[in-house]
Chains A and B, each alone.
Chain A
Amino acid sequence: MVTASTRDAGGAPDAGGAAVSARAVAETVTDPELPMLTLADLGVLREVSEAGGTVIVSITPTYTGCPAMDAMRDDLVRALHGAGFPDVEVRAVLRPAWSTDWISAAGRRKLAAAGIAPPRAAPLPVTGPIPLTLGPPARPVRCPHCGSAQTRLVSYFGATACRSLHRCGACQEPFEHVKEI
């Protein structure tokens, strides 16, 4: 099996030619809910490999119930078929669980440019009981429009599983935020 992961892409250009070019195609597929991000920006594209003429794309779900997963599968298959890879298999990789920390620096810039506040560092895993938050969040999200930190959480839950709703106290604009998980 030939593999082109983020870490070793290009490591074996002759043997991995198909995997590398399939990866280049897979990387251009965008997220159906956040179309400014590619699946590579989002960090859900884990591995593209090739075995016996079949391209195997491994992706990690963002949220377990996110219906965009099925759309991502279809979009990946369509893009790879269009690029001349007739046999494509999309596999789920569940471990380790996706984290917003995997969104690339470019992805964060694109989110901010689209008026969506990018995630900060995800909370570190704890060994004891997970802390309960009863008050407003300790770290206010910066407004993607004016940069103010005087923002208020409106709701943990937004139009998609990954986004929360906020309002800026300085420019008064409402905005969305990709919440940390």
Chain B
Amino acid sequence: MSFDNAYEAITEQNDTRWAFGTGFADPLTGVDTTVPAGVGAADLALYSLMLGDDALIMSHRLQQWCANAPELEDEVALANIALDLLGQARLLLSRAAAADGGGRSGRGEEGRGEDWYAFFRAEHEFRNVRLAELERGDFGELIARLVVFSTWRLAVAQRLGSSRDPVLAAVAAKAVKEITYHRDYAAQWLVRLGDGTQFSRERAQAGLAAIWPYVPELFTAHEVERRLAACGAGVDPAGVRGEFDGVLAAVLSAATLEVPDVAPRAGVAGRTGRHGVHTEAMGDLLAELQSVARADPGATW
């Protein structure tokens, strides 16, 4: 396992250490995925997809920063955050698959695991909030988005740690540790940009303005989220608004930035990301995310 040079390392025969392609072991192997009594299996599956899709789509946007970040350290940081979110997505999509066993036909005899959910669903079947999918902007927009996303997700995950579903509780408890670092990273950058030069401050403020219309959606519970919260398995995001506002006030104050005064971006007849109604950016994102797997649906590599 030690090599004289990188070429030897990547050309090693029968190497199983490289993390790409499909064909990973199910991350829930050996975990009891029985749906707890009193929790609807279909609701639990859909709720797991919502949280999993948030992570998957945000991770994809972060991955697009590879080779585009301002410094090597930030390149590495964004890739790490994307990797943590991808890991959360894998567990949550696998949780959805286990709760939703059977039903619609899968992609073959292996059935529907995490890959099926990531690569073979259509746009309207993705339940992520629209904030995650928005077109990649500049670094100011990225940092504003990451502060908002991490603060919101951390507050939800912390409460989800006491879910009646032991799988969701375990995934959330681990996610809390990871997202705490994501939020600190993003918040420290927002302070640096906002309290930096005139130019960086303008970009940070513009970044906040670009994403702020999508903030109210984060706290608008879908009926499935309300039902899951009512039976103790999920979290009603409306309940974390106060904590979110408190954290954002502290960060923005240190950054000498202001809460943007912009109108919320409405959905279609009140339907937004949680209902599968997305922005124009989502189609392009999914085309990139899914095209290789769809080109040869049976392939494992």
Q: Tell me if B57 counts as interface (CB < 8 A to partner A).
A: no
Give the shortest distance, in Å, between B152 (CB) and chain A (any CB): 12
Q: Tell me if B97 counts as interface (CB < 8 A to partner A).
A: no
On whether A161 and B80 interact (CB within 8 A), knowing A97-B170, A129-B247, A156-B181, the answer reads yes
Across-interface contacts of A133 in B (CB, < 8 A): 184, 187-188
B-contacting residues, A136-169, CB 8 Å: 154-159, 161, 165
Q: Tell me if A71 counts as interface (CB < 8 A to partner B).
A: yes
Number of B interface residues in the complex (CB < 8 A):
56
On whether A70 and B87 interact (CB within 8 A), knowing A129-B247, A132-B183, the answer reads no
B-contacting residues, A55-101, CB 8 Å: 56, 58, 61, 63-71, 73-74, 89-99
Across-interface contacts of B177 in A (CB, < 8 A): 97, 99, 181
Binding site for A on B (CB under 8 A): 1-2, 16-19, 24-25, 27-31, 73-74, 76-77, 79-81, 83-88, 90-91, 154-155, 158, 166-167, 169-171, 173-178, 180-181, 183-185, 187-188, 191, 243, 246-247, 250-251, 254
How far is B29's CA from A56's CA once the two chains are assembled, in angstroms? 12
B-contacting residues, A1-53, CB 8 Å: 32, 35
Residue of A with least CB distance to B179: A130
How far is B175's CA from A155's CA once the two chains are assembled, in angstroms? 20
Give the shortest distance, in Å, between B112 (CB) and chain A (any CB): 19
Total CB contacts across the A-B interface at under 8 A: 131
Binding site for B on A (CB under 8 A): 32, 35, 56, 58, 61, 63-71, 73-74, 89-99, 129-130, 132-134, 154-159, 161, 165, 179, 181
Give the shortest distance, in Å, between B76 (CB) and chain A (any CB): 5
8 Å CB contact of A129 from B84, B155, B174: B155
Across-interface contacts of B18 in A (CB, < 8 A): 67
On whether A71 and B16 interact (CB within 8 A), knowing A64-B175, A94-B31, A97-B173, the answer reads yes
On whether the beta carbons of A91 and B30 are closer than 8 Å, the reply is yes
How far is B169's CA from A99's CA once the two chains are assembled, in angstroms? 16
Across-interface contacts of B29 in A (CB, < 8 A): 90-92
- Among B84, B173, B177, the one with the most A-chain Cβ atoms within 10 Å of its Cβ is B177
Beyond A91-B29, A130-B180, 20 extra complex contacts between A and B, CB < 8 Å: A35-B1, A61-B174, A63-B83, A65-B87, A65-B90, A67-B83, A71-B17, A94-B91, A94-B171, A95-B166, A132-B187, A134-B251, A154-B73, A155-B74, A155-B77, A156-B181, A157-B73, A157-B79, A158-B80, A161-B83
Q: What are 29 A-B contacts defined by CB distance under 8 Å?
A: A32-B17, A56-B30, A63-B84, A64-B84, A64-B174, A64-B175, A65-B84, A66-B87, A70-B16, A74-B16, A92-B27, A94-B171, A96-B173, A97-B177, A129-B158, A133-B184, A133-B188, A134-B184, A134-B187, A134-B191, A154-B73, A156-B77, A157-B76, A157-B77, A157-B181, A157-B185, A158-B76, A158-B80, A161-B80
Give the shortest distance, in Å, between B93 (CB) and chain A (any CB): 12
Residue of B with least CB distance to A58: B30
On whether the beta carbons of B83 and A65 are closer than 8 Å, the reply is yes
Across-interface contacts of A156 in B (CB, < 8 A): 77, 181, 184-185
Across-interface contacts of A91 in B (CB, < 8 A): 29-31
On whether A130 and B251 interact (CB within 8 A), knowing A94-B31, A158-B76, the answer reads no
On whether the beta carbons of A65 and B187 are closer than 8 Å, the reply is no
- Among B28, B86, B184, the one with the most A-chain Cβ atoms within 10 Å of its Cβ is B184
Residue of A with least CB distance to B158: A130
On whether the beta carbons of B87 and A132 are closer than 8 Å, the reply is no
Give the shortest distance, in Å, between B149 (CB) and chain A (any CB): 15
Across-interface contacts of A130 in B (CB, < 8 A): 154, 158, 176, 180
On whether the beta carbons of B19 and A70 are closer than 8 Å, the reply is yes
How far is B23's CA from A74's CA once the two chains are assembled, in angstroms? 13
Residue of B with least CB distance to A136: B188
Across-interface contacts of A98 in B (CB, < 8 A): 174
How far is B123's CA from A72's CA once the two chains are assembled, in angstroms? 35
Across-interface contacts of B1 in A (CB, < 8 A): 32, 35
How far is B73's CA from A134's CA once the two chains are assembled, in angstroms? 18
Residue of A with least CB distance to B72: A155
- Among B73, B86, B154, B167, the one with the most A-chain Cβ atoms within 10 Å of its Cβ is B73
How far is B91's CA from A69's CA once the two chains are assembled, in angstroms? 13
Across-interface contacts of B243 in A (CB, < 8 A): 129
- Among A65, A71, A73, A165, the one with the most B-chain Cβ atoms within 10 Å of its Cβ is A65
Across-interface contacts of A179 in B (CB, < 8 A): 181
